Amino acid sequence: MYDLIVIGAGWAGISACMEARARGLTCALIDKGPLGGTCLNTGCIPTKTLIHSAKLYSQVKKAAGFGIEIPSSHLDFHKVQQRKQRIIGLLGNGIDSLLKGTQVIQAEAQVIAPDCVRTDSAELRAKRILVATGSIPAQIKDMPFNGNSVLSSDDALKLPEPPESLLIVGGGVIGCEFAGLFSSLGTRVTIVELTGQLLPGMDSDIAARLTACFKKKRIDVRTSCDVRTVDRSVFEKTLVCVGRRPCTQGLGLEQTGVSLRPDGACTVDDMMQTNIPSVFAAGDCTGGIMLAHFAAFQGRRAVKSMSGIPAQVPGDFGPAVPGCVFTDPEIASVGLTEERAAQSNVRVRVYRFDFMASGMARILDETDGYVKIITQESTGKIVGAGIIGPKATELISTLTVAVQAAMTVEQLRDTILPHPTLSEAITEALK
């Protein structure tokens, strides 16, 4: 009998196995697909690899502004795709070493009892089971994926060539990233979003700035727009990006008595435990914040919980979970936005610094955007931040630490950051 069986080899499952090994627990990891789950194979890594190639292609086009003459530039998308697959392979090999000491089983898995998992060829028993089966792209009922004219995000990553025209349905993180990617590659892109702004739920000022940037790039942005009003026949491809849904079907959880929400998500408490004491769940299958780094955090938390270690008490406004959007310019945020603060009746003070005034942003010729820091008026604590601009997805780490540690304006402002860098925009914003 194992101490733990993990179903799902994404970042929640892998992180749980590593935590279990560190605590001396015997562990088996079961997944029918390749190691790395969505993040490595059809999510974070492949999309950001393609996005980086697209950005480099855009930078080459403006090289003359840096005093570099490049006679011509040509995009070989086949080689771009080859590089993507090579990176996935290299990182996949690295996961093998992370899982030393864990029995990895490539098979279908079904929970048939609170202490038993059935695979294609055996029944395995464990003191505890962790479900970490991730999520899959959500579909629109009247617009099912067909892999040809109507694409999922998975399908879009496999395209042999950028389409001439593309309709993107859904202006969330995934839709915006693909809009920026394919626009940079020469595709005529239209993005439609049912709500009143791109990136619903994120800072409205930043969403408005991204909309303006997209329009400069000749991306047709249509907010408050129902896709049923759009003539899809004029587009070569339609890419549906309306979110993701938990992947729990066929696992036998209902028969085992595990409580599931209507969308199929596992219901868990702060310790990642379901209503069945021996069954835990982590990552996208819990239906919460669907981010790889949060899934990894949940996987570790689940194993700590099994080991009797209480969950870390979150801050006044919950755990500091950064969110990133790899558009150009990049976007990142953590903690409260002004809108969420108002909804929570929290009085805030807002600090800003524009990258137009940043020496390094001028050097990079990437001055579009700003740093925005949200502080609680009564305490001076930093409770949120948003960045749109160069390397926003890297810069948000400093502000994530500040929010998690409940730093005050004075503490962060008096921190010495190097010059000339983009990061000094953080402390400059507070002066």
pLDDT in tens, 2-27: 999 999 999 999 999 999 999 999 99
Phi-psi bin for 264: left (phi > 0), alpha (psi -120 to 50), beta?
left
Q: What is the CATH number of domain 323-429?
A: 3.30.390.30
Residues paired with residue 384 on neighbouring β-strands, in sequence order:
335, 374
Marked catalytic residue, from 74, 78, 293, 419: 419
Q: What is the CATH number of domain 2-136+245-306?
A: 3.50.50.60
Provide the pLDDT for residue 117: 97
Question: Measured in whole angstroms, how far is the alpha carbon of residue 39 from the centre of its chain?
Answer: 8
**Taking the domains of the chain in order of start, what are their residue ranges?**
2-136+245-306, 150-242, 323-429
Q: What is the CATH number of domain 150-242?
A: 3.50.50.60
Provide the pLDDT for residue 314: 63
Q: Which stretches within 217-357 are classed as H helix?
A: 253-256, 292-306, 338-343
Q: Catalytic site residue 419?
A: yes
Q: Which residue, among 330, 308, 332, has the nearest Cα to 320 in the 3D structure? A: 332
**What residues contact residue 213 under an 8 Å CB cut-off, 6+ apart?**
327, 328, 329, 368
Intervals of the chain under pLDDT 50: none
Query: Tokens representing 290?
Result: 């669907």
Inter-residue contact 102 to 91 (CB < 8 Å): no
CA distance 110 to 126: 13
Query: Tokens representing 150?
Result: 């109507």
Provide the pLDDT for residue 311: 77
Provide the pLDDT for residue 319: 83
The beta strand positions in 141-268, using DSSP E, are 150-151, 165-169, 188-192, 220-222, 237-240, 244-246
The domains spanning 2-136+245-306 and 323-429 adopt the same CATH topology: no
Inter-residue contact 30 to 119 (CB < 8 Å): yes
